[in-house]
Every structure is written in C-alpha cells, then in structure tokens.
Chain A
C-alpha cells in the first residue's frame, strides 16, 4: 500500500502523458479546473462529479465552543464549511484497493 503524496505536479504530469500538451499547459489546465470548482463552491453552488463525488457547502450556525485545554468558552461565528461526499464507485475502489489480502 502507498503512503505517497501526490500534488498538482503529478496531476499535470498525468494530463501531459494522456493528451500530449506541453507540461506548462497541462499544469494550467489542472489549475483552471480547481479554480472553476472553487469559484462555484464560493458562490454556494454544489459541485457534482459523477462517479467521483459531490462537494457541497453547508451553513453552520453560531455556537459556543470551548477551548479543550483551558476550558474557556469562546464564541464560534456562523460559517460556511465544505463537505465532500464520495461516490459509491470511489468508495468501492478505495475499499477494494486498500483491503488486506
């Protein structure tokens, strides 16, 4: 099993191998994918990629938090958080690929 960390570089390398654009252009395309997805999410839109998963933005209301170390109460402002729900296909592939044999 892995433990490696892939970065943007590895993704653009894959695009470079698959389509044969320049490395530079491949990198720009990966970046622009991430930007379009981020922009949609910031606008409160859901990003639903079939057979991959769904990114959605959830509104969390204000609450009183507590500093676990000092026990001190701190207000937590209302905020928006992003959640990712993997598709069944992704869940199955990740479960199968990491199963101890």
Chain B
C-alpha cells in the first residue's frame, strides 16, 4: 500500500469529503508525526505503535574502503516500536 492508495481508501469511505481534503488530512497526520520527532517528542498510538527518537553516541567509524578512521558525531534517529495489539494481530491472535 502506498500513500495514494491509503488516501483513496479513506476517500471512498467518506464520499462527502473532497479528495483534496482527504489528501490534506492524510498528509497532516504524517507531517505531525515527523514534526514531533524533529522536536524530540514521541508519538504514542496505542494498538498501532509508538514513534520516538533515539540518540546514537558519537563513535569512531571506519571507511570500509580505505580503512581510514573517521569521527562520527552524535546523532538522533527515528525509531518505531510496534504496539501490542498490532503485534498480536500480525501473529493471528484475535
């Protein structure tokens, strides 16, 4: 499923909404999640999962081609943990 298919499914269920509003709605939701993580916040969607930000410490890396050592700075990366309900559903429970 891609973004446009998700938009289409929601548009089909809501014939009273303009397609372009459904697009805005779907885009707003994803944008809120990304925006929250960019601020260092987490987003917890019970049953579905939680988006959070993890810190990766600075480390000494190595260029695999040249073997040269490089300093890799501390950075923050997005992380998703699947919710219990969805995890159970993936495994055929309820």
Contacts and interface: CB of A to CB of B under 8 A. Distances in A.
Interface in A1-53: 1-8, 10-11, 14-15, 18-19, 21, 26, 29-30, 32-34, 36-38, 40-42, 45-53
Interface residues of B, number: 48
Interface of A: 1-8, 10-11, 14-15, 18-19, 21, 26, 29-30, 32-34, 36-38, 40-42, 45-53, 55, 57, 79-84, 86, 89-91, 93-100
B78 A2 contact: no
A34 B48 contact: yes
A37 B21 contact: no
B1 A96 contact: no
A94 B29 contact: no
Given A15-B28, A19-B24, A98-B40, A47 B89 contact: no
A33 B26 contact: yes
Contacts of A5: 41-44
The 9 tightest CB contacts between A and B, nearest first, are A97-B38, A84-B80, A2-B40, A98-B76, A2-B41, A1-B40, A40-B1, A86-B78, A2-B39
Contacts of A79: 90-91
Given A37-B6, A53-B78, A30 B29 contact: yes
B42 A6 contact: yes
